[in-house]
Structures are given as C-alpha cells and as structure tokens.
Structure 1
Amino acid sequence: MAKRFKNKTALITGSSQGIGSACALRLAEEGADIILNGHKFDERGEKLIKQIKNLGRKAEFIEADMSKVKSVLKLMKSAVKIYGTLDILVNNAGLETKADFLDVTEEDYDLVMNTNLKGVFFATQAFAKYCKDNKRNGVVVNMSSVHEEIAFPHFAAYCVSKGGLKMLTRNLASELAPIGVRINNVAPGAISTPINKELLANKKQLKMVLQNIPLKRMGKVEEVAAVVAFLASDDAAYVTGSTYFVDGGLSYDYQEQ
C-alpha cells in the first residue's frame, strides 16, 4: 500500500473501536504515526496500539472527554507534544441517544450536542491555531452521518448535531483555507459497528433497513476509513467544505423519493 502519510501524524478522536479504530489502522498502514483517544484506556486501546506498532508505526493513547472543552483543549495540547507535530485531525468521537422528542431531557440534549458538535468545534479551533502559529498546513476530517440530510425520528438531538456539523464544515472551509487547513465531512450510513449491535441482532429490523439501501447491505468500517484516508491525503488537495456519503446509495435514494 502506498505510504501517503509518511512523516505525518494523525489524531483520531473516539478511536477505541468501530470506525475510529478502522481509521487509525488505515492511516497507520499508509505511514502515519497515530494518537488514539477515548474516554478510558482499556484492552481495546491496548490491542489497537499493538496492531499499529506491528505495522511499523508509533501509537499513543490519550484519555479525554470530548464533551468538555477543557478536556478537549488538554487533548489537543498533549497530542502536539507527543510527536512534536500534528498534521491530521479526524473528529470521529460521537454518540446518539434515542428518545421521543417530547421526552428528551436537557441533560441528554447537552451530552449529544457537546460531544458531536461543541467538542468538534473547539478541537478544530485548537488544531487550526496550531497550524497557523507554526505555519503548517493541516487537514480535518469530521465524522458526520447521513442524518445531516436524512430525518431520523426519535434521534432529534443527534440529527441537529450532524446538521450543525455540515454547516460548520462548509463555513470553516472558507475561513481556514487562507491558513492552509482543509476540512471535510464523511457521512456514513448503516455501518456494521458496535453502535449498531442491536440492529444487527434484530433480523426483522435489519431487513427493513436493507430494503432502503440500493446496495442491499451494511457498510464496513474499512470502507469508511478508506474515504477518510483519501480526504486526509494530498490526493484530495483540492477538496474542502464537502461531505462524502458512504452509505450504499441510501441518501441519494432517499432524496429521489
């Protein structure tokens, strides 16, 4: 595999499992040294560090709560110190809570919005400041969702956070271009990850979901990671402010209905 990220370092938030860990492995395979992140360093992080080191790359793990700005800023400062540079930020950390709109609590709303949008906002701000102060180019890839476009009943706060992320990315593409920072979104659809374990275990519900996907299957985390790698690389040097859907045609088919 081509080493598109030779001499590059990347921070992937929320990278203990699922799409985040797949992104970490893909970037490491292509030559990047990796900074992993999660709420807590556990056996998942240990396994991932071992996998990355087996690829001949360096890996470290930093605990941080992406819903708290103080924790986010500490993470960004620590990330730069580890290898002395930081070239790529993948804002992958995110969560969702299911509830009827009439039952959503302020606590649930704040948790989703703070993690999925506020944390991304201030992590990106800190990264952009670092790039500007050190006269370095940088790349940001945000993990959005098809639900930046498609309604998702009972997940209102989640949809609002991803819709906000779409606009944030478009706005920052313009504002950060003069300092050499590109920013894009990747919007997965139905992907086989731990967050979808209930769906994968419910054959009836899974069948209904697959009926709405033109490719008639769930996506793989590696397929999302491949698009992240493209956007983070110089192959996408003229791409900024865009959302790339990785959804088997779900969003296009939905818009055509």
Structure 2
Amino acid sequence: MKKIIGFDLDDTLAITKSPISDRMAGILSRLLEKYDVCVITGGTFQQIKKQVIDRLNVQPELLQRFHAMPTCGTRYYRFDAADNEWKIQYANDLSDEQKTQITTALEEVAREMGIWCDNPAGEIIEDRHSQITMSALGQQASPEDKYAWAEKYKDIRPVYRDKVAEKLPGLEVRIGGTTSTDITLPGIDKAYGIGKLLELNGWSKEDALFFGDKLQEGGNDFPVKQMGVDSIEVRGWEDTAYALEGINAVS
C-alpha cells in the first residue's frame, strides 16, 4: 500500500497559477485522512499555500501530513501543529553572486533571441532564494496568455534553455512550467526533491505514487518517473481528480 502521494502543481492539481477547485480541495482533504500528500513545484511556498493549502478544510493534525516542496524540492516545509506554523526543514539557497550571474544571463539571452517581454504582467525574473525563475510574460500573466505563448514558442524554449546554460556552467537550467525557465544549484530536479522527501521520512520508492502532466522524457516531471517511482501522467487537473476519487473510494 502506498504511504505518500506526490503531485506536480500547475496543470496537475490546478490551472496554472490558479487556486485548486472546490472539487479538488475536497478530494485532497479526504486524501489526507489516509495518506501523506506532497506538492512539488518550481513555484514558491507562497504559491503552494495560496493555490492549495489555503483551500484545504482539514484539522491542524492532518495538515502535518502535507509536505510542501517549492522550487523543485530545494526547499521543504512541514506544518507544526503545536506552534501553528509552517517550518522550513532545509533550504539549498543560491549565493548573491550566483543570483546576479543568473539574472544577467536570462535577460541577455532573451533579448538576443527577441523573446524578452517589454510589457510584462508582473516580474519576469523572480528570486526564489534557492531558484531563479524567468517567466516569459511575467508572473501574473493570465493562463490563456501563458498557454498561447507556450504553444507559439514550444520549439524555441529548448534553444533558450541551452543558450542560458552555456553562460552558466555549474548550474542547472531547466524548462519549468508553462512559460518558465528555472535555474538551481547543480543536480537539482524533482527527483532530487522526492528523493529527499523519502529519505527524511523513512519511505522507499515503493511507498510513493506521483502525478504529473509532464512525465514524458524531457518534461520536468520525468525525473521522478525515471528514478523508479510509480507515476501517472495526466492532461489536466480533471484527470487527477478522477483518479483520486477512485483512490478515495477504495481506501
């Protein structure tokens, strides 16, 4: 029997950058009665909290079973019911020098390739402490605009990633969410985060199940599947909801 069920966030549990639906909130709240739940994403802890945690209807004791792993698991948060607060378990943060190098490379290459947005919706480059993220249209762009951009530039994104990586030897450069490029310390991906989660909680790969929308080779969820964790690929949050309703029904 599985002990921990892990999830990507955008397009797996919710529409990109949007709160989970009432349906999904109810499903996850019930799931926590039987399983530990992890959300691992390239986004920040604040995004996980706003999109998922704040939508749950569970007692503090059950919330302790929720594992928040922002920035691909370079940070890990657990809820302490006694102190009624979320506490960081570890953080693999970038240095100030690395952050400057990354920010410069992201903008320089985007401008060279003609994909820098002059009228963004919010920040284009965001310092997430353990990760720097470039969101092509800005952090607050609408889901519709993001999906349209992702389709238009789907062949350009790998080229952009590779050109940025050439300028940043010794750092990990990945295609992230719908419009994002993520940069962390080397060796960091979702397999790293899930591996740390299992190690710190005394679980094995066989104890885990993972849902993601980018489990194909080259996708940012693929490393979890590659490490040997049973994984289910979904096309959107509705697929995930359908599968979880089945799990809740038989648990």
So what's the TM-score if we normalise by structure 2? 0.31
Q: Which has the higher strand share?
A: 2
Higher RCO by CA contacts (8 Å cutoff, separation 6 or greater): 2
Q: Which has the higher helix share?
A: 1
So what's the TM-score if we normalise by structure 1? 0.30
